[in-house]
Structure 1
């Protein structure tokens, strides 16, 4: 199927805008918040929406079932990147990318061989969230310093990485089965370019903070993929996307409120 130029341009602009937004949040607000928002359905929403637009809502819905389990591979990518990216600069980025992609591919090969349902796919990722959250418990929180990274080279890097990954995923969807398409849709389209940019400009420590808090925000992605898998084929792309974002936002707000309550409770205990 020939994809209209307008759709291709839309993918490019949306991808660039999302990555730029995450970078601004990390530099001007906090890496912790950026890590949580990296788990918001940004790249996955872009990928599944355009897969549904270019192929069919039914195919995108079937793919979203495998996306539910595919987030486990995304967590593996983050863990692999964290293990390899111990050094600052380009060397750290290359090593982190190599170990992260290797972990993602190995996990994806396992996931695509399993006939997941919505329930089993969701449970798989929920277990992975708990495991990785525990593994990251001793990673220190390091705030990124504001540096205003809006140079033309930085903009080109953001555009190239984010748009390139989106185009690759949606392009491969035309020739790949739903299982692989779904797992690829779970790839951290916005988070990975963001990690590379943050790593190059501010070093490995803030990157580790983003990865540490990524599992906590992943629940919103699970909610989004679950709703999309149920609504794309019946309600269509736009209603399904809106309902997916509503569910993801509700989960993220509930999670944030629960964290605030837990922190206040811990503070009250410390004072008593």
Structure 2
């Protein structure tokens, strides 16, 4: 295992904190629905794949990204496990939800790691899973987060600690596991899970479930990102590949949100008065 410079470790901490807190602000100031969509934006996975490439090699990160495409299925399984087990308010609900989510993620991730995915098959697996979990989550009722203050030094510290621990665990384990598992680990919801825990503790299971409900449909940008960096990391390098990945992911997310607005307007015009 290569020795990782302190500057890289500090960068992991800083970026993790910014991403988790930004998602929390969106949920409270905008809505859990938008936060759920943005949870599918390449935040945590981009950070994990970038540092895997920086600490090991761009080629290894590109190979891992191929398995990340299928690994998002395990992330949706984590959301389903959390939703099914974490329906109680308070710490009890958070603990049961986390346990159920981790068990579901590990079980599905273990199954996925047995296959040698290509870019096509990895993408197809997750597209099928998006359809399946969207149908499963459809019956989750919408519940907007309240605008009361949920930020405190304790909450900020908890988010920072958990997100940073997950990032360090994933990038550390990547030095010891094959690309298949490294890619699956990179698909772990680094930013979404800490956000869910804090939102659940502060405002109960319903807003957290709303975020989970909309998470699968936000995964398109993550799929675009992982597919792009799997193609560009080796020939273009980490920085150019990352920028290209964010560009493609942003285009997809903007297009998806415009399509949703168009569909909503169309439905409102055709609805009976």
Same fold, TM-score > 0.5, yes or no: yes
- Structure 2 residue ranges without an equivalent (≥5): none
The Cα shift of 1:65 comes to 0.3
CA drift of 1:20 comes to 0.3
Offset, 1:6? 0.4
How far residue 238 of structure 1 moved from its aligned partner, in angstroms, is 0.5
Structure 1 range deviating more: 237-246 or 147-156: 147-156
Cα distance in 2 between the residues matched to 1:139 and 1:268: 26
User: Hey, which bits of structure 1, 4+ residues long, moved more than 2 A?
Assistant: 147-150
Once residues 71 and 136 of structure 1 are traced to their aligned partners in structure 2, the CA distance between those partners, rounded to angstroms, is 16
| Higher mean C-alpha displacement, 230-239 vs 148-157 | 148-157
Equivalent residue, structure 1, for 2:193: 192
The offset of 1:150, in angstroms, is: 2.5
Supply the RMSD in Å over aligned alpha carbons. Answer: 0.8
Given the alignment of the two structures, is residue 138 of structure 1 paired with residue 133 of structure 2, yes or no?
A: no
- Give the structure 2 partner of residue 90 of structure 1: 91
C-alpha distance in 1 between matches for 2:201 and 2:215: 19
Aligned match of 2:113: 112
Pairing 1:169-248 to 2, within 5 Å after superposition: 169-248=170-249
Q: List aligned pairs for 1:28-47, cutoff 5 A.
A: 28-47=29-48
Q: TM-score, normalised by structure 1?
A: 0.99
**Superposition pairs for residues 11-22 of structure 1, below 5 Å?**
11-22=12-23
Instruction: Give me the whole-angstrom Cα distance separating, in 2, the residues matched to 1:150 and 1:119.
Output: 42
For structure 1, the 5+ residue unaligned runs are none
Distance (whole Å) between structure 2 residues aligned to residue 180 and residue 91 of structure 1: 30
Separation in 1, partners of 2:201, 2:124: 35
| Structure 1 residue 147: Cα displacement | 2.4
Larger displacement relative to structure 2 (10-19 or 144-153): 144-153
**Separation (CA, whole Å) in 2 of partners of 1:73 and 1:26:** 23
CA distance in 1, matches of 2:150, 2:236: 41
> Where does residue 3 of structure 1 map in the other structure?
4
